[in-house]
Amino acid sequence: MTESAGSPSFVAGGAELPFNPADGAFQADPFPAYGRLRDQFPVLRGPLGAFLVSRYEDCELLLRDRRMGKDFANSKFFQQIMGEAGDNPPPFLGLGLDDWDAKLFMLTDPPEHTRLRGLVSQAFTPAMIKDLRVSVAATVEELLGELPERFDLMERLATPMPIRVLGTMLGIPAEEQAQFTRWSVEIAGLLDLDVALPPEVAEARRTAVAACTSYFLKLAEERADGDGQDLVSQLVRARDQGSMLTTQEIAATCVLLVVAAQETFSNLLGNAAVVFARQPKAFTRLAEQPETTDATLDEVMRLEPPAHQVGRIALERMELHGHVIEPGDAVILLVASANRDERVFPEPDTLDIERKGPNHLSFGRGIHYCLGAPLATMMAEEALRGLTARITSLALAEETVAYKPGMGLRGPARLPVMVRKRVS
Ligand code: HEM
């Protein structure tokens, strides 16, 4: 990295590529920078030594490549970051936390990953998702209520919705859900690997994870010997029936679900609303032809993915576009860039619900493919159903969208909208 005009830019192949994740222009629209990466530097050694990969074909293959692991904690990359962070390590995905002796299974490799994911998958079967739909629809009704003509869509729906749904899945009593919503916003920050995190922000995240973990440890104890159908009760039964599952792992898994669902889903809804505000015909079509919802959601997810990157740690030496990647190196797959790769998607910046061809990478691929994808899709369908039942169009109430900071996840920090209400 060098300094140019006061802002960092990468040096790649002897040429400078202006690309500063903290820059306002990049935050407002990162896609032109991704396009330059795909054309000129399909693999680029970025800040902190991680390799950025930007083309669809490479991202897709590497997501499924078993020479790529996820055990960040034991990687040379992560040790180096922790070294640089000194006294204020970012509480990235629960790593670097005191008193934490279970890993989030998203960050494990087989066989540990297979065991833990297998146990949790029972809560995400199509039948379970179908059963949850009614309560998700009721949550949407309650949150949207009688809509005013102007409101903040993040505050009203996108932020509270995921934790409310997870609360139901995990069996969290209604009166305890408010504190949960507060924790979840802090905990969602665990996906953010920021070495320059202000100490008070890092501390707030650590405190929230500790509180939430103790809460789940207690809940797991209370659910012992019960016959509840919620996920915590199911995991406790699995533990007691000899599934080699510890109470710490149960708590860590519940925290993981909050981390994995909160920001991703709220970004999905926020990003979808921005697309619909800018392309009102797409929203009208959704209301008039609800059968196009799935195809529309797929396109919104391709164009504006809630998570722009997915990380891996190389387990073996490999070469890619002339770069040598050594074991322990971090590889960042820029799925948001891959989704707009013109080598794969004709007119990649256009929303086209008739599009044929390969799927987007927004839910990942391979053994870590998003466990919550069917749930997230069902939740988004219900949220859109709630909106189209109430309004005929929505417009942005502010000229520019204020995005949340960071390069890993992307979604509006707030989204004031003005809506035209449906006359019933
Ligand atoms: C629109 C919303 C969502 C998006 C875009 C999203 C995206 C992703 C992606 C890209 C991965 C793969 C990570 C990797 O390969 O390293 C992932 C994994 C995961 N997601 Fe989601 N996610 C969403 C919602 C949810 C929800 C609602 C839940 C659960 C309630 C969830 C639970 C998980 C879990 C547990 C994993 C880890 C899977 C594993 O490592 O085996 N996600 N998600």
112-165: pLDDT as tens digits: 999 999 989 988 889 989 999 999 999 999 999 999 999 999 999 999 999 999
Closest Cα to atom 40 of ligand 1: 106
Query: Residue 2: what pLDDT?
Result: 32
| Rounded Cα distance, 93 and 108, in Å | 12
Please state the separation of Cα 383 from the chain's center in Å. 18
Query: Which one-letter DSSP state was computed for residue 304?
Result: S
Q: What is the pLDDT of residue 146?
A: 95
* pLDDT exceeds 50 at position 13: no
More confident residue, 46 or 286: 286
Atom of ligand 1 nearest to the CA of 108: 40
Tell me the average pLDDT across 163-171: 92
| Candidate of 235, 264, 269, 359 to mutate for ligand 1, largest count of ligand atoms within 8 Å of Cβ | 264
Residue 376 Cβ inside 6 Å of ligand 1? The answer reads yes
Q: What is the overall mean pLDDT for the chain?
A: 88
Residue 6: predicted pLDDT: 34
Q: Is 393 exposed, middle or buried (0-12, 13-18, 19+ CB in 10 A)?
A: middle
pLDDT, mean of residues 322-348: 96
Q: Which of 345, 265, 353, 277 is nearest to 305 (CA)?
A: 265
Cα 75 to averaged position of ligand 1 atoms, centre (Å): 22
Instruction: Pick the closest to residue 351 from 403, 297, 408, 273 (CA basis).
Output: 297
Is the shortest distance between the CB of 93 and ligand 1 below 6 Å? no
pLDDT digit string (tens) for 365-417?
A: 999 999 999 999 999 999 999 999 999 999 999 999 999 877 788 999 999 99
Residue 7 confidence (pLDDT) above 70? no
Mean pLDDT across 164-177: 90
Distance 258 CA to ligand 1 centre (A): 10
Q: What is the model's pLDDT at position 372? A: 95
Nearest CA to ligand 1 atom 7: 363
Q: For residue 240, name the pLDDT band (cuts at 50, 70, 90).
A: confident
The lowest-confidence range among 164-173, 182-191, 282-291, 400-409 is 182-191
In sequence order, what DSSP letters do the residues of 214-273 get, joined into one string? HHHHHHHHHTTT----SHHHHHHHHHHTT-S--HHHHHHHHHHHHHHHHHHHHHHHHHHH
In order of their start, the domains of the chain are 2-421 (1.10.630.10)
If you measure from the C-alpha of residue 193 to the centroid of ligand 1, how many angstroms do you get, rounded to a whole number? 17
Rounded Cα distance, 415 and 291, in Å = 27
CA of 333 to the centre of ligand 1 (A): 15
Cβ–ligand 1 contact at 69 (below 6 Å)? no
C-alpha 369 to ligand 1 mean position (Å): 7
Whether residue 185 is predicted with pLDDT greater than 90 in this model: the reply is no
CA of 260 to the centre of ligand 1 (A): 5
147 in contact with ligand 1, CB cutoff 6 A: no
Q: Find out whether the beta carbon of 265 lies less than 6 Å from any atom of ligand 1.
A: yes
This prediction's pTM: 0.92
Mean pLDDT of 279-304: 97
In angstroms, the Cα distances linking 355 to 274, 348, 358 are 21, 10, 9
Return left, alpha or beta for 372; rule: phi > 0 is left, psi -120 to 50 is alpha, else beta: alpha
- At 1 the pLDDT is 32
Is any atom of ligand 1 closer than 6 Å to the C-beta of 106? yes
Residue 40, H or E segment:
helix 31-40
Q: Which of the four pLDDT bands, split at 50, 70 and 90, describes residue 181?
A: confident
Spatial separation of the C-alpha atoms in residues 334 and 35, rounded to whole Å: 11
